[in-house]
A and B are shown apart, each in its own frame.
Chain A
Amino acid sequence: MSEHRDRPPIAQRKVSRRGLLGTAAGVSAGALLASCSLLQRGEEAPKLGATADEIIKQRQLTPEDVTAALMTYVPSGKYDEYLMFSSTGHGGQVLVHGLPSMRLLKVIAVFTPEPWQGYGYGGSTNEVLEGGYFHGKPILWGDTHHPALSETNGEYDGQFLFINDKANGRIAVVDLRDFETKQIVKNPLLVNEHGGCFVTPNTEYVLEADQYSVPLGGVYAPITEYKEKYRGVLVFWKFDREKGRLVPEQSFAIETPPYWHDLADAGKGPSHGWAFWNSINTELAIPGIREGRPAMEIAASQRDMDYLHVVNWKKAEELVAAGKYEEINGFKVIRMDVAAKEGVLFLIPEPKSPHGVDVTPGGDYIVVAGKLDPHVTVYSFAKIQQAIQAGNWDTDEYGIPVLPFEQCLEAQVELGLGPLHTQFDDQGYAYTSLFLDSAVAKWALGKPYREDGWKLVEKLPVQYNIGHLAAAEGDTAKPAGRFLVAHNKWSVDRYASIGPLLPQNAQLISIAPDQPMRVLYDCPIGIGEPHYAQIIKRERIKAWEIYPEVGWNPHTQSVDPNAVLKVGDERIERRGKTVEIWGVLLRSQIRPDLIEVEQGDEVIWHLTNIERAKDATHGFALGGYNINLSLEPGETQTIRFVADIPGTFPFYCTEFCSALHLEMMGYFLVKPT
């Protein structure tokens, strides 16, 4: 059983107000004494100016506030138990928070240049960003939605993180050895995507699907030819764990009718080898308000049922191996008639306009949240298989098998208004976000999880308009329980006013066993809009403290042939109109520190931080040329540019590294021609 089970949370039992205050006072006083004694460096601890009781009174804290503080406070110098990776929406990045403190540990630059990390301001990170350019056009933002940690046997393994860009149909790979983005791939079939990233139980594939259908490849076709020419795709990106890269040549897609695909999840356990996407706009509505058509929100909400897509990806793999695919823009596509005929793609009706589709920890049920329906609909994977075996299905207008809803249904649980996403704990409970109710619903799964299954247990109001929610390891084969974070779209009145663009509100919620859920902490997110998030035990991640060897190229994850390994080996070479510099950085020098070129020269500048001390990062900024690198201990980067502006350019270290940091500089002189 997971380790936290041995350590009951502080507020395990109900205690009297007086007793609680007393305990809290004792603990707080202890902490205060400890901090005072640290400050006084061994001198006798002074008497407390205010006892904890007085602080509680002064700050008007309730007993619930005090226990929440005690459950979330992580003392100075101590580590959090969990890390949460969340998307930032149109901020285009990934956030890393510690739980339960909710402290922000890092903003991982992914689709948006980020100067502090030197991301997109020279060096190999420019190449990463270029991987996501669209027909050569720089795209310097993204709309990140669904981070997916790599998995082994259905559990997070802490090695990689995948994140999608809804706006431009791209996926990025983050290596969790150095928490840096290594690859961005643009899907050549679609323009826009939502149903990613989700991984198969051993990260064989990273799942992705289009949201708004386009003709395959994103080519032009009149909107009136929507039914005939527009198509959906369900995409399986092959992941090479050794290389840490997605491999387009070994990836494939399945063509579908132009239904809009929403969220996805991969099967596991008994449903391993299968994947599930839900869909909206099976009405095949098209925009055109001025042309007299209804607005999309109305036109796409006419039918009572949309379609859950059920995909046998093991079978699809076989079809690809057998050559039963077409190449479109260099990407393998199984056509939908083949997918239908070969038993790769099935549809099951699902209540209208659903949002989340989440596979239970055991892989036995698929939970679809209604959005416009107050229920979650639970499908049994075993029943789906029986329905497929039985073979008595209809087809949709494109000839795709539609399995009978009733035959696949296990249960429907009425939760409230606007159910969106579902996560799980280790006690057999599920937690579903209710957007319209602004609440989290806790409900019991049925057998084999619980005897008292398929019913609502409790609802907790959250502030406000919850979208995704994430429980600790709550979408894996072994959820950890205890904590859940509600990612609320609106904060309205929760924080001091900072102008009309308000922060998002991430709320930490206790889901400790046998206790009512409660909000422990509000964390404002002022850097983007988190959609999905995943929460992983800290120990699962084995990040490097410094790069393994001096001269490390983080892009190739190996020693760079152009690295300078020691002081004194730096040099400058001129070949015709090219000036190549091999330099080093160390406290507190950039060597060489004087470089003179002629206007129009091509400059290739290799820079190696030869430091081996943890945290001895150096920056390298060349003002006027839009260059800023972050060189972490051991890192090598190469910048290339044409010295087209004549003049005198001081370059310097941007990361305050040492007492003589200001002196860590040099001059780059460009002689006019």
Chain B
Amino acid sequence: MTASMTQAMTRTGIRQALSAAIARIGDRVPFLLAAVALAASLALPYWHMTLLAPQYPSGLRVWIFLTKLAGDVQEVNGLNHYIGMMKLEEAATFERAIAPYGVAALAGLALLAALLRRRWTVWLSILVVIFPLVFVADLQYWLWYFGHHLDPHAALSSAIKPFTPPALGTGRVGQFVVETRFDSGFYLAVLAALSTIAGIVARLRGPVQRG
């Protein structure tokens, strides 16, 4: 037996052992990861915007968490009132109220899929996959809503046409350059979604019990 053959056999052995291990838990870990990532995302901002203007040399920042707003909310509201924009905390009040339960439920579904090798748990886990898309759609809706429901009596109402601030990108309102970016919480939700997809693929390839 040549050395290279021995090596190849050893390598095959390791690979076999690995795939055995993966076969045992490979369809559980991704769901577990998704559950943890989702739960953790509750404590992190999903989106933020930075407002830059000459008189704010260090900029203004607002972070959107699933459950709250943080940063220079009061200052941004104060500035927005000149163009008749609603207060930031008036957006998505329902979504913010149910977010802890909703995300806990989604994490629960991922956990269920990790624990129970049943087809229905797999189907339900698809909700975890579409969750980031739902967040983006909702964000876009509120951005549109805010930009199209300006108080016509505001001081600068005549200077501003209805507009939709970008969910991701750079816009300009008056002297402000507004940069919007997704943040760590959102990336965890995306990780949860991708991980869930990996879990579903692994599960569908492996032994799935009916029910």
The stretch of B74-82, B105-113, B200-208 that contacts the partner chain: B74-82
> From A615, which residue of chain B is reached at the shortest CB distance?
B55
Contact with A along B138-168 (1 / 0, CB 8 A): 0000000000000000010000000000000
Q: How far is it, in angstroms, between the C-alpha of A612 and the C-alpha of B79 when the chains are bound?
A: 12
Contact with A along B100-120 (1 / 0, CB 8 A): 000000000000000000000
Chain B residues with Cβ under 8 A from A635's Cβ?
none
B155 with A660: CB separation less than 8 A: yes
B155 with A612: CB separation less than 8 A: no
Count of A residues near B, CB < 8 Å? 9
A611 with B155: CB separation less than 8 A: no
Q: How far is it, in angstroms, between the C-alpha of A208 and the C-alpha of B78 when the chains are bound?
A: 49
A613 with B75: CB separation less than 8 A: yes
8 Å CB contact of B78 from A586, A659, A663? A586
Chain B residues with Cβ under 8 A from A610's Cβ?
74
B75 with A660: CB separation less than 8 A: no
Say yes or no: is A537 at the interface (Cβ < 8 Å to chain B).
Answer: no
Q: How far is it, in angstroms, between the C-alpha of A612 and the C-alpha of B71 when the chains are bound?
A: 11
CB distance from A658 to the nearest CB of B (A): 8
Say yes or no: is A494 at the interface (Cβ < 8 Å to chain B).
Answer: no
A612 with B75: CB separation less than 8 A: yes
Q: Mind listing 16 A-B residue pairs with CB under 8 Å? A: A586-B78, A587-B78, A610-B74, A611-B75, A611-B78, A612-B72, A612-B74, A612-B75, A613-B56, A613-B72, A613-B75, A613-B78, A659-B82, A660-B82, A660-B155, A663-B155
Within 8 A of A (CB), among B49-104: 56, 72, 74-75, 78, 82
Contact with B along A281-297 (1 / 0, CB 8 A): 00000000000000000
Chain A residues with Cβ under 8 A from B155's Cβ?
660, 663
Q: How far is it, in angstroms, between the C-alpha of A611 and the C-alpha of B75 when the chains are bound?
A: 8
Chain A residues with Cβ under 8 A from B56's Cβ?
613
> From B81, which residue of chain A is reached at the shortest CB distance?
A587
Chain B residues with Cβ under 8 A from A659's Cβ?
82
Interface residues, chain B, with chain A CB atoms under 8 Å away? 56, 72, 74-75, 78, 82, 155
Chain A residues with Cβ under 8 A from B75's Cβ?
611-613
Q: How far is it, in angstroms, between the C-alpha of A610 and the C-alpha of B75 when the chains are bound?
A: 10
CB distance from B43 to the nearest CB of A (A): 24
Q: Which of A586, A613, A659 has the most CB of B within 10 A?
A: A613
> From A612, which residue of chain B is reached at the shortest CB distance?
B74
Q: How far is it, in angstroms, between the C-alpha of A281 and the C-alpha of B75 when the chains are bound?
A: 62
New contact pairs (13) apart from A612-B72, A613-B78, A660-B82, CB-CB < 8 Å: A586-B78, A587-B78, A610-B74, A611-B75, A611-B78, A612-B74, A612-B75, A613-B56, A613-B72, A613-B75, A659-B82, A660-B155, A663-B155
Within 8 A of B (CB), among A10-66: none
CB distance from B85 to the nearest CB of A (A): 14
CB distance from B78 to the nearest CB of A (A): 6
CB distance from A615 to the nearest CB of B (A): 8
Chain B residues with Cβ under 8 A from A660's Cβ?
82, 155
> From B58, which residue of chain A is reached at the shortest CB distance?
A614
Contact with B along A579-620 (1 / 0, CB 8 A): 000000011000000000000000000000011110000000
Q: How far is it, in angstroms, between the C-alpha of A611 and the C-alpha of B76 when the chains are bound?
A: 11
Chain A residues with Cβ under 8 A from B72's Cβ?
612-613
Q: How far is it, in angstroms, between the C-alpha of A660 and the C-alpha of B78 when the chains are bound?
A: 12
4 nearest CB pairs, A to B: A613-B75, A612-B74, A660-B155, A587-B78
> From A587, which residue of chain B is reached at the shortest CB distance?
B78
Chain A residues with Cβ under 8 A from B74's Cβ?
610, 612
CB distance from B118 to the nearest CB of A (A): 52
Q: How far is it, in angstroms, between the C-alpha of A284 and the C-alpha of B82 when the chains are bound?
A: 71
Q: How far is it, in angstroms, between the C-alpha of A610 and the C-alpha of B72 when the chains are bound?
A: 13
> From B79, which residue of chain A is reached at the shortest CB distance?
A587
> From B75, which residue of chain A is reached at the shortest CB distance?
A613
> From B74, which residue of chain A is reached at the shortest CB distance?
A612
Q: How far is it, in angstroms, between the C-alpha of A173 and the C-alpha of B155 when the chains are bound?
A: 44
Chain B residues with Cβ under 8 A from A586's Cβ?
78
CB distance from B153 to the nearest CB of A (A): 13
CB distance from B5 to the nearest CB of A (A): 65
Q: How far is it, in angstroms, between the C-alpha of A586 and the C-alpha of B56 when the chains are bound?
A: 17
> From B55, which residue of chain A is reached at the shortest CB distance?
A615
> From A659, which residue of chain B is reached at the shortest CB distance?
B82
> From A550, which residue of chain B is reached at the shortest CB distance?
B74
> From B73, which residue of chain A is reached at the shortest CB distance?
A612
Q: How far is it, in angstroms, between the C-alpha of A224 and the C-alpha of B155 when the chains are bound?
A: 75
Q: Which of B72, B75, B78, B82 has the most CB of A within 10 A?
A: B78
Contact with B along A128-166 (1 / 0, CB 8 A): 000000000000000000000000000000000000000
Q: How far is it, in angstroms, between the C-alpha of A613 and the C-alpha of B78 when the chains are bound?
A: 10
Chain B residues with Cβ under 8 A from A587's Cβ?
78
> From B175, which residue of chain A is reached at the shortest CB distance?
A659
Q: How far is it, in angstroms, between the C-alpha of A587 and the C-alpha of B156 when the chains are bound?
A: 14
Q: How far is it, in angstroms, between the C-alpha of A38 and the C-alpha of B82 when the chains are bound?
A: 30
Contact with B along A610-638 (1 / 0, CB 8 A): 11110000000000000000000000000
Q: How far is it, in angstroms, between the C-alpha of A611 and the C-alpha of B72 when the chains are bound?
A: 11
Contact with B along A86-98 (1 / 0, CB 8 A): 0000000000000
CB distance from B175 to the nearest CB of A (A): 10
CB distance from A618 to the nearest CB of B (A): 12
CB distance from B200 to the nearest CB of A (A): 47
CB distance from B88 to the nearest CB of A (A): 14
